Amino acid sequence: MAETLTATALTLKDIAREAGVSLATVDRVLHNRPGVRPDTVRRVKAAIERNAFQPHVAAAELARGRARRFAFVMPSGPNPFMQQIEAYLGEMSAWLTVRRLNVELVATDVFDPSVLAGTLETLSGDYDGVAVVALDHPGVRAAINDLVDAGTKVVTLVSDVPSSRRHHYVGIDNIAAGRTAGALVGRLAGQKSGKVAIVAGSQGLRDHAERIFGFNQVMASEFPGLSVLPVLEGRDEDDRSEQVLARLLGKHADIVGLYNVGAGTQGVAKALNDKALNDKALSDAGRNEVVFVGHDVTVLTRRLLLQGVMDAAISQNPGHEARAAVRVLLALARGEPILREQEKIRIDIVMRDNLP
């Protein structure tokens, strides 16, 4: 009736006895210290394997004494999503303190490859781990690889550099996110046919490009009644996003769906509202006629969802990302296995009634 899930824990002493060597030798093997014959190394490692030995985390942590230093390299501009990640890191403060972890925020211009690469280089050697919101660029890739070679654990955050040798990526699959947005716009638009607009920050950003790709994929294959208009670029700015969208809405009367890929949500909503007022075309339910899907749950998008202006937000949980990045860095630094399932960031569909 009762089933136990845990093995009895061995200690280093047990491993030493098993392998027929002294504690000192096991210690040398465990920490890759020199002065052990290859044959002995093999014997010790065999004993460790055989017993699935894992060092007692608490004891190891206590013994090593010095704190670990992690750096979070984040965009310097005022990006609400990034600010949320930083806020959640702040909330972890007590958690970090009792584990003797030092987390430092490093603000930099992540959109300028050379600046970002330069920042990463200054970090080398000083940190046990680095989490970075990275731009995918050869210079950045090289800087990441240098960090890895120096022994620093590196995770990319939100935006990946798959071609680098970073140890882990904490973020969503942006193609799937775009597909999800497409499916939502298509399904929520109902039987209607018409045009669909896309507002992005820039098609040069990897994550935006991937989202657009996924979105178009779904629209093309599943919603033949809807035609996607050329992508508008709003540079993630409110004013510019509003302008370009307003112009487009003026030109096409039959726009039934809108996908806002990045930020600039305020501007997008404004353009949409102005149009609705002009048309005097708010439906009875108080909902805008144009299906509006965007990204991330912020103060603003939360309000838009509650008002019915926005129909759904594709979200990646910033708290989860912050904690996952720290946990992954810690596990990497300790040599512990990573709970992939736990650290995976999901694509959340957030509508009015399941607002977190």
Site string for its own copies, 147-166 (x = CB under 8 A): --------------------
36 interacts with, out of its own copies, DNA, none, CB within 5 to 8 A per kind: DNA
Stretch 221-280 residues interacting with its own copies (CB under 8 A):
222
d(CA 134, CA 123): 15
| Long-range residue pairs from 337-341, CB within 8 A, at least 24 positions apart, any chain | 338/168
Encode burial over 79-116: b for 16+ CB neighbours within 10 A, e otherwise.
Answer: bebbebbbebbeebeeebeeeebebeebebebbebebb
Check binding of 21 to DNA (CB under 7 A).
Answer: yes
Residue with tokens 């920050």: 201
Task: Give the range of 19-27, 33-41, 253-261, 311-319 binding its own copies by CB under 8 A.
Answer: 311-319
Binding mask 173-202 for its own copies (x = CB under 8 A): ---xx-xx-xxx--xx-xx-----------
Smaller CB separation from DNA, 98 or 285: 98
Residue 3 sits in the site that holds its own copies (CB under 8 A): yes
Contact flag: residue 11 with DNA (CB under 7 A):
yes
Strand pairing partners for 233? 200
Contact set for DNA, span 39-98 (CB under 7 A): 39-40, 55-56, 59-60, 62-65
Closest to its own copies by CB, 223 or 241: 223
Residue whose entry in the numeric block shows the structure tokens 């977190």: 356
Measured CA to CA, the distance from residue 185 to residue 226 in angstroms comes to 10
> According to the binding rule CB under 7 A, does residue 34 interact with DNA?
yes
Among 41, 106, 148, 300, interactor with its own copies by CB under 8 A = 106
Encode burial over 65-78: b for 16+ CB neighbours within 10 A, e otherwise. Answer: eeebbbbbbbbeee
